[in-house]
Chains A and B, each alone.
Chain A
Amino acid sequence: MLANESSKVPGLSRRELLKSGAAGVLLLGFRVPIAHAASDSFAPNAFIRIGDDDVVTLVMPQVEMGQGIYTSVGMILADELDADFEKVVLQHAPPDKAYINPIFGVQATGGSTSVRAFWEPLRKAGASARAMLVEAAAQQWSVELSTCRTSNSVVIHDASGRKVGYGAIAGLAATMTPPKEPKLKSIKDFTLIGKPVKRKDTPDKTDGKTQYGIDAMPAGVKFAAIAQCPIFGGKVGRVDDTKAKAIKGVQQVVAIDDFVAVVADTTWTALKGLDALDVIWDEGPNANVDSAEIWQALRTASQGPAVVAKETGDVKAAFADGAHYDAVYELPFLAHAAMEPLNCTVHYTKDACEVWTGSQVIGRVQADVAKVVGLPIEKVTAHNFYIGGGFGRRLEQEMAVRAARLAMQVDGPVKVTWRREEDMQHDVYRPLYHNAVSASVKNGKIVGWTHRVTGSAIIARWLPPAFKNGIDIDAVDGAVDEPYDFQNIKIEYVRAEPLAVPTGFWRGVGPNNNFFTLETFVDEIAHREKVDPVAFRLKHLDNNPRLKAVVQLAAEKSGWGSSLPARMGRGISAQNAFGSFISTVCEAEVDESGEIRVHRCVAAVDTGIVVNPDTVIAQFQGGLIFGLTAALYGEITIAKGRVQQSNFNDYRMLRINEAPKIEVHLIPSMEHPGGIGETGTTASAPALANALFAATGVRLRRLPIDRDVLAGRKPA
């Protein structure tokens, strides 16, 4: 389904795109149609191309890594354009300002922003193109604009019965002026949006045709494997490559700063070569860092000075009397462990460089590669690919930089594939967090709430301009906008970068931490106040009808309150993260030895206008599994400056025979579309922890869930 030439936008030069993108200030880059070499094709903006063969090509500003975004984005464009979706062809966007994500100001896919951010711009892009097609047809037929309509890639003049396909009129349409404010469809007229539409990317994924970055095979490609210094911050000391070079098929051994690479005839030979290298690492300053020390430093930092991220009401007064509750919650480092290990293919020559990789930030890949190889940016072509799971890992581009540095020493294109162990031990980890929360309860209601979040500031590194006044908007996301009417609230943030270990975005980002803290603490207070956790939440949701509605629906659909067998419990979570309102009930069982079985999850979801309902459900199902996996098993630990986990044998994944049944109930809504990709991940851990409390009476304040604590072998 995907057009072959993934990197080129036909009929549109880079310069023109730049012009439009820059002028449009991160918006959709409307532009005057260019004079075409082939006058019959129509490229009204960065997202739409129509050929005289009637093929509508849509350029995807957001990368597809499983979210179904190609289909959803395609539907939004095609609906306003009235294109025949069956015949639509999709294309990966090249790095270009025209595709900047309006929420970040960077060409990036993440934060469950795709539909939220591009909803308006894409609708306008589609509507504008449609208007130009209609105008062209009207002009050609000399009829009133208003007497023409469109349907399925055809302009129709009902009065005369005339019809013209988009392809046939494309050339003329290209000469029309795009409308300033194109008229958007009213919601009731949507033909695609809101209907379950089959995904465009899946047929190729069922028969192995889809190309991920790891599948890039430019002619003459060589295969490389790399080993980075196992200690964060260390470098290559001495390398003895005699044994490696003796292996048939090993072509080259290269050591650069902090990594060594073996280039060979296959990845397998390269891996064997890597194993045969005798490397003595220059371990650097972190050779003795371990998890205990990192945690200690975080806890110490949490006692230090904090910045106030939000303060409402009179917190002091609220805590002056009433019942007082305190708790501390801690969350560990996590790896992304996407199924497609990191990889990047680069072909470097003196005067040009080509990069093949799947990236959530293809523009940054291009820019950083250009920098490291010392070429002007326009000499670097970056081809984006389908991504075999991103989860935030590919919001970084250091893997491409490394590959480019290697490529500078290799003749011809070289594909660097990270072995799983390398991927896991050189991740950019979900930071560990420390949360201190307190609540004051009067007359059965929480009236005072403080939450101090301590953890690293990813935003400060990733998007420095967004890091203001010492507040990391991601780290406190979900804490500053907690959904309940607690009235007197103080949210504080302490920036504490962990020793040695690099941190980055991970599916669910800040809300993962903050909703786990909020939702398990609220649950705990409800139990200690002897109020049903659902009833307790509802008491605090009078000002939040959307969340109230999902809590009620989740409770109803899950059979909340009905009895369960011994050692089985039900837990609920509620959240308003990523612009969506979601409540999730989890049913889990714990045996005497502390082993857990998650039986069922029931969720109610209000994510505003739904573009492709089945995709929303799929995303939520997958997100739940992702979050349950982390809650049950996920933790990266450090010893002697090294990550101790290496592969799926010691960094465990939930498998099909452990997966619960999942029911997702969508609430119809006319609100602006919310994000969905990360919501399941955020929802599951607190719902599970609360269910485990209901089953055992043990309150869990750390993740991953410790079975020794659950079984009473260890204190909480």
Chain B
Amino acid sequence: MTRLYWALIATAAVAAVVAAWIIYVPGPTAFASGSTVALNDYKDANPTGVPASLASADLVKRGEYLTRAADCEACHTAKGGIPYAGGLAFKLPFGTMYSPNITPDKETGIGNWTDADFLNAIHKGIAPDGSRLYPAFPYPSYTLLTDDDALAIKAYLFSLAPVRRVTPKNSLMFPFNQRWLMAFWSLFYNSNERYQPHTDQSAEWNRGAYLAEALGHCGECHTPRNLMQAVNNKRKFAGAVTAGWRAYNITQDKTSGIGSWDVEMTEKFLAHGHVEGLGTASGPMGEAVDMSLRHMTPEDIKALVVYLKTVPPIPDTSLPVPKTLLASTFPSDHEVNENARGAMIFAGACEACHGWSGKSPVLKYADFVGGRTVNDPTARNVAQAVIWGVTRHSPDGVVTMPGFGKAYSDEEIAAVVNYVTARFGAEKSNITAEEVRKIGKQASQ
């Protein structure tokens, strides 16, 4: 009896440990050695707030910088809609969620929120009426923000013109429509702690960490999630699929990550979303560059890179070393024969911008060569780009690739996507029409 009793207890304990291990996730900067201190006790330069050049700017200006750094606009703006007025649809496997209006409209926005309301939302994921927010809103990251920074963001948002726009109702399946369940989730996955600097690391590193983790919330897309949909920092930055796009491995792994990019290249990629020979950021990363990263000061970009460079490599064997050789200036016969339909569509709709060689004759943003997207044998991002198109607000003006999803069949899109990876990538993809159909539906709209 007692034996059995103890056996049961032991099993339960093991199960609990396993479960705990499964659901436990380390903090975002846990990979770094050394101890952390509360911000107030940190002796070096303050890693929070705005860069030195803006230190004496007024609250709204500072708030604007931080709002951009936190990239609020990307999620809180419907496609083609008014910035911050919400309404972007996130297509999730269990329903559709819409980002809310965060302009200071009193009825449909956040015009009635007090500072305490705002901090509660940002740090704890709790709305003024006590209801729980879904972690699509990255409060487990924003919880690291200081009160000052959060309130500067609020001040900026309240300086915008109020826009009356009712946020559409979410359509989530049970049990995901039970907001109160999020309370338990938060218990596990929201530390509700402000950023704590690492004393062993440089001030620049700490600034980078604050930018990456508290504001930029890179891990929300680039780190895989566990069963509970929490960011799993055991595989920090190892790559994941978000909103139907693949956020690539940004660990320092040389093959599948960005370990082979030097500091300068990495800085340039973050600031421009394009580096010759590394391709162009598109999809959500393109937006992150356009709406957030490119507005950061060079010192902040540098700090980010200093931080990124210390993230431990995690290899991903599904990603080959990108091919850097240009393709021929004209397609050869066997290429045409192998995938005639893909070749036909590429010739008609794609070649004018991307070129037969993969080096664009007109726009550097349209270069394929060396880019991760065409060197990803899942071809997920190529497919998304073909279906929905890409719009980049680059320093050289607006650059657009139109979407082809409405007029080309899934078979045709699969064919052209496979043609592109075969011609320009290190490993050809084998995406099917069925996958194209599915992938296309996952993009946020």
- State the A residues within 8 Å of B (CB): 275, 278, 593-595, 633, 644-645, 647, 649-652, 655, 657-658, 707
Contact = CB atoms under 8 A, between A and B. Distances in A.
B261 interface: no
Nearest to A653: B348
A633 B406 CA distance: 11
A595 B407 contact: no
Nearest to B401: A649
Contacts, number: 40
Nearest to B398: A275
Interface string B337-359: 00001001001110000000000
A650 B402 contact: yes
A633 B82 CA distance: 33
B435 to A, nearest CB: 14
Contacts of A647: 402
A679 B111 CA distance: 63
Interface stretch (B24-32, B91-99, B178-186, B408-416): B408-416
A595 B408 contact: no
Contacts of B402: 647, 649-650
A655 B348 contact: yes
Shortest Cβ-Cβ A-B pairs, 10 listed: A649-B402, A650-B406, A652-B407, A655-B348, A593-B411, A650-B407, A657-B344, A649-B404, A707-B409, A595-B411
Contacts of B412: 595
Interface residues of B, number: 18
A657 B349 CA distance: 11
A633 B409 CA distance: 10
Classify the interface of chain A: helix, strand, loop or mixed. loop
Given A633-B407, A645-B406, A655-B348, 6 more contacts: A593-B409, A644-B406, A649-B349, A649-B389, A649-B406, A658-B348
A650 B349 CA distance: 11
A595 B341 contact: yes
Interface string B404-434: 1011110110000000000000000000010
A278 B81 CA distance: 10
Question: Among B398, B404, B409, which residue has the most Cβ atoms of chain A within 10 A?
Answer: B409
Contacts of A645: 406-407
A652 B349 CA distance: 10
A657 B346 CA distance: 11
B312 interface: no
Contacts of A657: 344, 347-348
A655 B349 CA distance: 9
Interface string B126-164: 000000000000000000000000000000000000000
A645 B82 CA distance: 22
Contacts of A594: 409, 411
Nearest to A635: B407
B51 interface: no
B315 interface: no
Given A593-B433, A595-B341, A658-B344, A707 B406 contact: no
Question: Among B348, B404, B412, which residue has the most Cβ atoms of chain A within 10 A?
Answer: B348
23 contacts: A275-B398, A593-B409, A593-B411, A594-B411, A595-B409, A595-B411, A595-B412, A644-B406, A645-B406, A645-B407, A649-B389, A649-B403, A649-B404, A649-B406, A649-B407, A650-B402, A650-B406, A651-B407, A652-B407, A655-B348, A657-B347, A658-B348, A707-B411
Contacts of B403: 649-650
B351 to A, nearest CB: 11
Contacts of B389: 649
Interface in B383-409: 389, 398, 402-404, 406-409
Nearest to A651: B407
A278 B80 CA distance: 11
B344 A652 contact: no
A652 B411 contact: no
Contacts of A650: 402-404, 406-407
A637 to B, nearest CB: 9
A237 to B, nearest CB: 13
Nearest to B404: A649
Nearest to B433: A593
Contacts of A593: 409, 411, 433
Nearest to A278: B82
A162 to B, nearest CB: 62
B162 to A, nearest CB: 14
Nearest to A280: B82
A151 B98 CA distance: 80
Nearest to B411: A593
Contacts of B341: 595
Contacts of A655: 347-348
